[in-house]
Amino acid sequence: MTTPRCPHCRNFAFLDWLRCERCDGELGYHYRSGQFHPIDDDGTVIDGERWYRCSNRSWGCNWLVREGAGSGKCFSCRLTRHQPDAADTIAMEKLAITEQAKRRLLIQLLGLDLPIVPWNLHAGGLGFDLLSSLSSGQRVIIGHANGIITIDLAESLDNVREALRVRLGEPYRTMLGHLRHEIGHYYDMVLVTEGQRREAYRELFGDERASYQDAIARHYERGAPDGWRQSYISEYATMHPWEDFAETFAHYLHITGTLSTAAAAGVRLDHGVSGMRDIDVEPLDDYRDQSIQRLLDDWKWLSLVFNRVNRSMGLRDLYPFELNAPVRHKLEYVHKLVIAAGDQD
């Protein structure tokens, strides 16, 4: 992953910007290069192809769409299978917030070279149903099923999301975090094949063939078992092997994404100042050629610093989770899975 900058003034640019806040130049994000490009009504030529504004730009999408793509929508927006009617402006405002988190998720997945097969090109391909229980008055069943991730746009509201966090016993819940969890289910389906990979999965997470409906009923009746912190990353992970994998996958994305951002910003911990260990800590943009030990060692120290920064602002810890030995082994499994997926390209 590369650090996006304004092509007009070279200022650092946030991934959700439509215009540079320094020079006011219009920005278009090219997902293949991971960079912003200048755009106008005639489009812009990148690597011999002409790219245009996404037709959803008025709703906050700053991605570019390739000429001849067959749609005025960019790659990210085309992955959205169902969404509220455009006349429902309140729901569309919530959609814009959710789509922003989805684009950030996709940028990370593409940076890790993870496969993304669109729902309209292959059965079981990735797609998103982004629906609103607030405007429809109907219950939206969130989750993943055969490649389709369903999200209730009401979760973009702070009070709704906080109520869910408390009800589910979660110390942390964001829209991006929810998307990272659900994409874990997708890659469970796509990357965990039979044979040794499946056997290792069952040794770490349990037998996924156990009844999911029974697991749901048991979890909501009894809650997490006593001593769950000794083997799981969260209470929700205890419900079923599928949920344990999805939670672990989400945390792998949390950790690698934050370390990548720190690396891009030039963050470096000097042992002479911190006294944390006898070598400096320099986060990397990409850990796929590193051991899980290096990744988690860097995260141990960086997360401590980030937690201290949050506390200095009166906020909850940025990362309020404990990575015990069983969870570290599960993260190592995901790490190897991600590496193997990239090697297949």
Q: 202 and 327 share a domain?
A: yes
pLDDT the model gives residue 310: 96
pLDDT the model gives residue 154: 82
pLDDT the model gives residue 1: 55
Q: 91 and 225 share a domain?
A: no
Q: 221 and 343 share a domain?
A: yes
Q: Cα(102)–Cα(79) distance, rounded to whole angstroms?
A: 10
- Domain end point (choices 49, 74, 99): 74
Q: 41 and 83 share a domain?
A: no
Distances (CA, A) of 228 to 55, 66, 148, 159, 225: 47, 48, 30, 28, 6
Q: 23 and 48 share a domain?
A: yes
In a domain, 276, yes or no: yes
Q: 65 and 168 share a domain?
A: no
Tens-place pLDDT, residues 250-269: 999 999 999 999 999 899 99
Q: Cα(319)–Cα(250) distance, rounded to whole angstroms?
A: 13
pLDDT the model gives residue 4: 87
Angle at 101 between CA 301 and CA 338, to 5 degrees: 55
Residue range(s) defining the domain that contains residue 69:
1-74
Reported residue count of the chain is 345
Q: How many CA atoms lie within 13 Å of 88's alpha carbon, on the beta-carbon side?
A: 16
Pick from 240, 122, 110, 258: nearest CA to 188: 240
Pick from 114, 167, 150, 13: nearest CA to 337: 114
Block residue for tokens 């959609």? 95
Q: 70 and 94 share a domain?
A: no
In a domain, 28, yes or no: yes
In a domain, 46, yes or no: yes
What does residue 72 show for φ and ψ, rounded to 5 degrees?
-80, 0
Question: 263 CB contacts (<8 Å, ≥6 apart)?
Answer: 282, 283, 284, 285
pLDDT the model gives residue 136: 62
Kindly give the residue spans of alpha helices, DSSP state H, lying in the chain.
75-78, 89-111, 133-136, 158-167, 175-191, 196-205, 212-222, 241-264, 271-274, 292-312, 325-343
Pairing relationship of beta strands 127-131 and 148-152 according to DSSP bridges: parallel
In a domain, 274, yes or no: yes
Q: 310 and 242 share a domain?
A: yes
Q: 14 and 128 share a domain?
A: no
pLDDT the model gives residue 150: 96
In a domain, 185, yes or no: no
pLDDT the model gives residue 56: 95
pLDDT the model gives residue 63: 98
- Domain end point (choices 50, 74, 98): 74
Pick from 5, 2, 321: nearest CA to 177: 321
In a domain, 181, yes or no: no
In a domain, 184, yes or no: no
pLDDT the model gives residue 51: 96
In a domain, 187, yes or no: no
Q: 163 and 236 share a domain?
A: no
Number of domains observed in the structure of the chain: 3
Give me the amino acid identity at 159.
N
pLDDT the model gives residue 70: 82
pTM value > 0.75: yes
Q: 249 and 283 share a domain?
A: yes
**What does the pLDDT profile of the chain (345 residues) look like in tens digits?**
567 899 999 999 999 999 999 999 999 999 999 999 999 899 999 999 999 999 999 999 999 999 988 889 999 999 999 998 888 888 888 899 999 999 999 999 999 999 999 999 999 999 999 998 876 667 888 999 999 999 998 877 666 666 665 566 666 678 999 999 999 999 999 999 989 999 999 999 999 999 999 999 999 899 999 999 999 999 999 999 999 999 999 999 999 999 999 999 899 998 765 555 667 899 999 999 999 999 999 999 999 999 999 999 999 999 999 999 999 999 999 999 999 998 775
- Domain end point (choices 116, 149, 176): 176
Q: Cα(69)–Cα(60) distance, rounded to whole angstroms?
A: 20
Q: 220 and 335 share a domain?
A: yes
